[in-house]
Amino acid sequence: MTSTADGLREETLPALPAHVDVPQYDRSRLVPSVVHIGVGGFHRAHQALYFDDLAARGETGWGVIGVGLHRPQMGEVLQAQDGLFTVVERGAQGQSARVVGSVVHYLYAPSDPEAVVRALADERTRLVTLTVTGGGYLVDEDGQFLVDDPDVQHDLQHPQAPRSMVGFLVEALRRRRERGTGPFTVLSCDNLPDSGAAARTAVVSFARLRDRSLARWIDESCTFPTSMVDRITPETSPETRDQIEAELGVPDRWPVVTEPFRQWIVEDDFCAGRPPLEQVGVQFVQDVHPYKLVKARMLNGGHSALGYLGTLLGHTTTDEAMRDEDVRTVLDRMLAEEVLPLLPHPPGMDLEDYRCTTMERFANPAIGDALARLCRRGSTKMPTYLLPSLHEAVQQGTPRRLLVLAVAAWMRYLRGTDLAGNPIEVQDARAEALQALARRGQDDPRPLLGARSVFGSLGEHPAVVAELAEALRVLSHEGLPAALARCLPAEESAAA
């Protein structure tokens, strides 16, 4: 007789407590038609869950093969657990636990690249989904493929044993073309303004370096839809893992904790059959871009502002920072008065409702996402999520004082200490250069604004430079309440 002491595996599912949902479908009937590259916490809390929902409805033709490119630990856990893992949803109404069974196999690419190529080239594979982060596409800010990247050069010299996402996809598509198997759809689920275009550029550009006729076939035969994905998924700590086992009775070595909210909007452009994900809440649309823009400016931009403001005040988690009245006011009014008016109105999306929901999600005490996670890679996130709103506000002459304050908070954060003088570890690929500029400038933003690849043309607007300087000075020497007061109308500041 098995028990939960044996760990989470197929044979121990019956021993789990009754309050834990487990797959009721026959996992052996799952057809491995989806290959997902970049299995991490977000994929397991999002895309894999939707495919699990499909299987639970009897749609067993969309099983998932997971592929890892960089971290062997995930593969070790999933292989030991028969591909099973637990998703714990935590919200105002409590928590629930669910074991997900849609991942039928896991491959760690560096250990066996040929197995990954075979899985992609398998005629059963109809869809490849990606969460490889922006850097995984090997496309620069101008949309040009990074031909000189070391992995690209390696994959050109060793096409049968690739290292990069594009190397794997192109070699598999070459084999499929040669065998007459046909193409597959490449669906990007990464937070890029046009992730589908980035995927197409990367794959076709790399293929052109190998074989121009192959590149033409891929460009004409494959589709590269983009999608908007949304679910807050903090990193799972060892303490959280132990807590889940103690409270819920699930002996999962790497569970995922997430919020109740989830959303997936997908461009309807599939070349090898479309999974019936509309049955489980996915929205198929002709144009994803307005939805992505709303999410990037509202949720991701709000996350950046929350991370830097909260960290400067000594807070460590999102819910703690949102309990700070000044931080909450900055976020609420920035999104309502300065970000939302600049956004498009996607069909079926109520922007004010989305804003209110976003504020509730930020404040969810059951999640408590680490601010340090939100603050990472600021040189990539800020130009993508928050700075575009400021640029547009400057161009259109709309209110921007709170956006300026949020950008000033990042500039102050880059000095490496919070407002009380405590050290901050700045985790960013450009940390050394940006921190040197921030420390040199102190309350003068001009040295940082000289980094045009990050800030664009903001430094060319004297009014914006002056506003940033004032926000930096007041934030640094008088604190957030005083800086916020300068952003509010005179009558509100007087009342405060």
Residue where one domain finishes, among candidates 236, 262, 285? 285
Q: CA 7, 9, 10 angle in degrees (round to 5)?
A: 150
Domain shared by 269 and 301, yes or no: no
Tokens of 157: 């010299």
Domain shared by 165 and 179, yes or no: yes
pLDDT tens over the chain, length 496 residues: 455 567 999 999 999 999 999 999 999 999 999 999 999 999 999 999 999 999 999 999 999 999 999 989 999 999 999 999 999 999 988 999 999 999 999 999 999 999 999 999 999 999 999 999 888 999 988 889 999 999 999 999 999 999 999 999 999 999 999 999 999 999 999 988 899 999 999 999 999 999 999 999 999 999 999 999 999 999 899 999 999 999 999 999 999 999 999 999 999 999 999 999 999 999 999 999 999 999 999 999 999 999 999 999 999 999 999 999 999 999 999 999 999 999 999 999 999 999 999 999 999 999 888 999 999 999 999 999 999 999 999 999 999 999 999 999 999 999 999 999 999 999 999 999 999 999 999 999 999 999 999 999 999 999 999 999 999 999 999 999 999 999 987 556 544 4
For residues 457 and 436, give the distance between their C-alpha atoms in angstroms, rounded to a whole number. 20
Domain shared by 194 and 45, yes or no: yes
Domain shared by 306 and 272, yes or no: no
Residue where one domain finishes, among candidates 260, 285, 310? 285
Segments forming the whole domain that contains residue 255: 4-285
Q: Residue 113 carries which side chain, given as an amino acid letter?
A: P
Sheet hosting strand 185-188, strand order edge to edge: 103-108, 63-68, 32-37, 127-130, 185-188
Half-sphere exposure of 467 (CA within 13 A, CB side): 21
Domain shared by 359 and 373, yes or no: yes
150 Rama sector, left if φ>0, alpha if ψ -120 to 50, beta otherwise: alpha
Domain shared by 463 and 342, yes or no: yes
**CATH number of 412's domain:** 1.10.1040.10
Residue where one domain finishes, among candidates 268, 285, 302? 285
Distances from the Cα of 34 to the Cαs of 10, 60, 105, 130, 162, in angstroms?
Answer: 21, 11, 11, 11, 20
Domain shared by 450 and 486, yes or no: yes
Domain shared by 336 and 257, yes or no: no
Domain shared by 403 and 297, yes or no: yes
Domain shared by 90 and 50, yes or no: yes
Domain count, the chain: 2
Is residue 456 within 8 A of residue 383, CB to CB? The reply is yes
**CATH number of 67's domain:** 3.40.50.720
Backbone angles phi, psi at 462, to 5 degrees: -55, -35
Domain shared by 312 and 165, yes or no: no
Domain shared by 33 and 82, yes or no: yes
